[in-house]
Amino acid sequence: MSEETGERIFNGLPAAGGIAIGPAFVYEREEVFVSERVLTPDEVDREILLLNEAMLRTRQELERIVSFARKKLDDDAAKIFESQLLMLEDIEMLHSLERRLREEKKNADFLIYDELKRYREMFDGAKDIALRERMADLDEVGQRIMRNLQKKRLHLTVEGRHIIISEQLTPSDTLLFSRNDVLGYATDTGGIASHAAILSRSLKIPAVTAMQGASKEIRTGDLVILDGQHGILIVNPTEEHQREYERKSSRIESLEAELAELVDLPCVTTDGHKVELSANAEFVDELEYIITQGSKGIGLYRTEHLYIAKGDFPSEQEQFIEYSATAQSMYPQTVIFRTFDIGGDKHLNRGIPEQNPFLGWRGIRMMLDEPDLFRQQFRAILRASTMKNIKLMFPMISGLSELEEVLGIFEEVKLELRDKQINFDEHMEVGVMIEVPSAIFVADELAKRVDFFSIGTNDLVQYLMAVDRNNELIADLYQEFHPAVIRALKTIIDTGHRNNIWVGMCGEMAGNPLATVLLLGLGLDEFSMVPSVIPEVKKIIRSTNYEDAQRIAHQALQLPTSRKVRDFLEAYVRERQPQMMAALLNDDPDGDGNHVSALPVSRIAADEDHGPGDADSDSGKKTED
């Protein structure tokens, strides 16, 4: 189908919610080129004059942007431009420029370029996203001065309603394009916490980021669909997709208002059964967004991003700062930290080649071989726990002896802290992730030693089905609705409850609206997911009767194939949640049961340990098992 119509689907990160459908406008940012020149003594004074003129002009531009930003944006977003203005006036930079101009006698635009390079080197090692964003701001200010020195103009106008596609958008591109009738933004680079993403949310313009090269594949005028909630861009969509998204878009508008009202409401079924919805997170910068989505805390905090960002293990102090900042900003909600899960797809083993890293030295296996690193992490987490809102869990536990070894080290570290009279939460809850199939069969023993289970469905499904979901040849065998999977879930949840511990889930399945009623009915106590889907899942739970859900789960458990389970759940959602189904799935009024649409829903989360683009999930594929 896709060859005939030329439809292409790109997966990125959801930066700002909403759906946009319209022609693409591919924006190629005009690069400023500089060449190095040596000035004659007479030219130096003139160059200083030109620099001052360019500075003045830049200042006027920025002041106009700031006043426009104040009108159009919330306070925090407008601050981004105010700080750009401060950068322009930075006395150190001004002095350094003028001094170098006189001493080195070089052209001003080259010197600015050179100064920026110096700062970039300084920021390059920065692990902090916020810091990298500030470098991007500084870069933008520098580019603006250079452009003014070269007397060039930027053209940020576009006729008619378009979706702007670009390799990158600076904060002011994002703001200034919005003066036109812009429908959405899609960029190759950037992150959820980037300034451009913050601005898109503040402007309420749907945006997708981290599209990894999509801008090179799209031409101005191509019809595109941008799904800012799920991070999807569809180029030259099939008519089917077009109709589907047009329907979704109009329904989302009415749904959105309704979902917004849900943020502060408890997550409880119509008959009073309460569950927790929480968010998966890895950066402090995401927390603000998480809170606005109505999350009850963080159900999975991936600590390994600290390692990935730094390229090495962070010190105890670095970890402590990160963990306490996270705990404090979520307070009084809780944060569940997962100890380093390095290895597997993260390719970070210490240069020892592994034929099969997913079955190799990863997670708890690696940490047990490096007990000093483990102790460091435990100390940092314990020290950060004084507000008593931190929980801890261990990945890749395959059996009791591993768990006992981990808990042994944990207790030793507690003892050491008590000796040193360092405060920590003596009653911190600890849990294990259930993701290695062997753990299911010893869950009874594991449950007796911990306070909770958290089911990591992404790995669990892979290991249970023996399917590497990054392998395209077999990715369709990765089926989270396979009877073996849902029966395993039942065993895990029942075993947990029998031992009086709660059971959560932090894999993609927890955020798949199609799975919500099933998981609720199986008795899951906590659902942890990408923040953007929390309102949808909450809405489903709040309009479901717990007894109904239990019956649905019971019936689903009897079904023999993945396809039958899916169809059964879809039929239920379509009947009971027509509005939700219409907005989320392709609810075809003619009822021809078309399934193409399910694709975006389960792509919701390029989540749980898989980067964007590789989370090729089962839905949308019509494979019979």
Partner 1 sequence: MIERTVTIRNRSGLHTRPAATLVKTAARFASEFYIKKDSFEINGKSIIGVMTLAAEQGSTLVLTFSGRDETEMAEAVVGLFEKGFGEL
Catalytic residue positions?
Answer: 195, 506
Residue 324 binding partner 1, by CB under 8 A:
yes
Taking the complex as a whole, how short is the minimal distance between the CB of residue 154 and partner 1, in angstroms?
23
What is the nearest approach in angstroms of partner 1 to the Cβ of residue 382?
Answer: 16
Whichever of 125 and 221 has its CB closer to partner 1, that residue is: 125
Contact by Cβ (8 Å): 373, 306: no
DSSP string, 51-102: HHHHHHHHHHHHHHHHHHHHHHS-HHHHHHHHHHHHHHT-HHHHHHHHHHHH
Query: C-beta of 81: minimal distance to partner 1 in Å?
Result: 11
For residue 466, give every residue at least 6 positions away whose Cβ sits within 8 Å of its Cβ, in sequence order, or none: none
Q: Is 415 in the site for partner 1 (CB under 8 A)?
A: no
Assigned token pair, 602: 């389960």
* C-alpha angle 398-403-409 in degrees, rounded to nearest 5: 140
Q: Tell me whether residue 108 or residue 477 sits nearer to partner 1 (CB atom).
A: 108
Per CB under 8 A, 83 contacts partner 1: yes
Pick from 119, 358, 361, 568 the residue near partner 1 by CB under 8 A: 119
When asked if residue 422 is in the footprint of partner 1 (CB under 8 A), the reply is: no
Neighbours of 47 (CB within 10 A): 21
49: contact with partner 1 by CB under 8 A: no
- Give the span between the Cα atoms of 174 and 156, in whole angstroms: 10
Q: Does 559 bind partner 1 (CB under 8 A)?
A: no
Give, as ranges, the residues between 87 and 106 that touch partner 1 (CB under 8 A).
Answer: 87, 90-93
Residue 74 interacts with partner 1 (CB under 8 A): yes or no: no
Q: Is 86 in the site for partner 1 (CB under 8 A)?
A: yes
| Closer Cβ to partner 1, 80 or 492, answer by number | 80
126 near partner 1, rule: CB under 8 A: yes
**CA–CA separation, 556 and 390 (whole Å):** 35
Q: How far is the CB of 82 from partner 1 (least distance, A)?
A: 6
Q: Which is nearer to partner 1, 89 or 258 (CB)?
A: 89
Burial classification of residue 560, based on how many CB atoms lie within 10 Å of its CB (0-12 exposed, 13-18 middle, 19 or more buried) = exposed
**Residue 79 touching partner 1 (CB under 8 A):** yes
DSSP letter for 426, please: T
Q: Which stretch binds partner 1 (CB under 8 A): 121-129, 301-309, 447-455, 566-574?
A: 121-129
- Residue with smaller CB distance to partner 1, 115 or 468: 115
Question: Rounded distance, CA 257 to CA 97, Å?
Answer: 51
Q: Is position 189 an interface residue for partner 1 (rule: CB under 8 A)?
A: no
What's the 3-state SS for 480-539? CCCHHHHHHHHHHHHHHHHCCCEEEECCHHHHCCCCHHHHHHHCCCEEEECHHHHHHHHH
Q: Which stretch binds partner 1 (CB under 8 A): 299-307, 322-330, 366-374, 495-503?
A: 322-330
Specify whether the CB–CB gap between 392 and 336 falls below 8 A: yes
Residue 363, classed as helix, strand or coil, is coil
State the binding string over 276-315 for partner 1 (x if CB under 8 A, else -). Answer: --------x-------------------------------
Cβ 610 to partner 1, closest distance in Å? Answer: 28
**Whose Cβ is closer to partner 1: residue 142's or residue 513's?**
142
Nearest to 526 by CA among 557, 492, 479: 492
The residue behind tokens 């997550």 is: 267
Answer yes or no whether residue 329 interacts with partner 1 by CB under 8 A. Answer: yes
568 binds partner 1 (CB under 8 A): no
The closest alpha carbon to 597, from 575, 566, 572, 625, belongs to 566
Radius of gyration, CA atoms only, the chain: 26
Identity of the residue, 337 or 452, whose beta carbon is nearer to partner 1 in the bound complex: 337
Our finding on whether 321 is near partner 1 (CB under 8 A) is yes
- Least distance CB 298 / partner 1 (angstroms): 15
19-27 and 223-227 beta bridge pairing: antiparallel
What letter would DSSP give residue 274?
Answer: B
In the complex, least distance from residue 86 CB atom to partner 1, rounded to whole angstroms: 4
Choose the binding region for partner 1 from 126-134, 353-361, 427-435, 452-460 (rule: CB under 8 A).
126-134
Provide the 3-class DSSP secondary structure of residue 23: strand
Q: Which of 76, 404 has the CB closer to partner 1?
A: 76
The site for partner 1, by CB under 8 A, has a size of 27
Query: Least distance in Å: CB of 57 to partner 1?
Result: 20
Strands (E), 317-450: 335-338, 390-394, 430-434
Nearer to partner 1, 38 or 325 (CB): 325
The yes or no reply on residue 491 touching partner 1 (CB under 8 A) is: no
Sequence-distant (≥ 6) Cβ neighbours of residue 354 within 8 angstroms: 360, 361
Q: Which stretch binds partner 1 (CB under 8 A): 54-62, 318-326, 363-371, 505-513?
A: 318-326
Q: From CA 388, how far away is CA 333, in angstroms rounded?
A: 10
Among 49, 56, 325, 571, binds partner 1 (CB under 8 A): 325
Question: At closest approach, how far in Å is the CB of 126 from partner 1?
Answer: 6
Helix (H, G, I), strand (E, B), or coil: what is residue 433? Answer: strand
Binding mask 129-148 for partner 1 (x = CB under 8 A): -xx--x---x----------
Residue of 28, 53, 74, 76 that binds partner 1 (CB under 8 A): 76
Residue whose CB is less far from partner 1, 170 or 577 = 170
Tell me how far, at minimum, the Cβ of 324 lies from partner 1, in Å. Answer: 7
Q: Exposure of 523 by Cβ count < 10 A (0-12 exposed, 13-18 middle, 19+ buried)?
A: buried
User: Tokens 């975006």 correspond to what residue?
Assistant: 600
- The beta-carbon contacts of 93-96 under 8 Å, at least 24 apart in sequence, are 94/55
Q: What number of other Cβ atoms are within 10 A of residue 155's Cβ?
A: 7
DSSP letter, residue 604: T
Q: How far is the CB of 200 from partner 1 (least distance, A)?
A: 17
CB closer to partner 1, 83 vs 238: 83
Judged by the rule CB under 8 A, the positions of this chain that interact with partner 1 are 76, 79-80, 82-83, 86-87, 90-93, 119, 122-123, 126, 128, 130-131, 134, 138, 284, 320-321, 324-325, 328-329
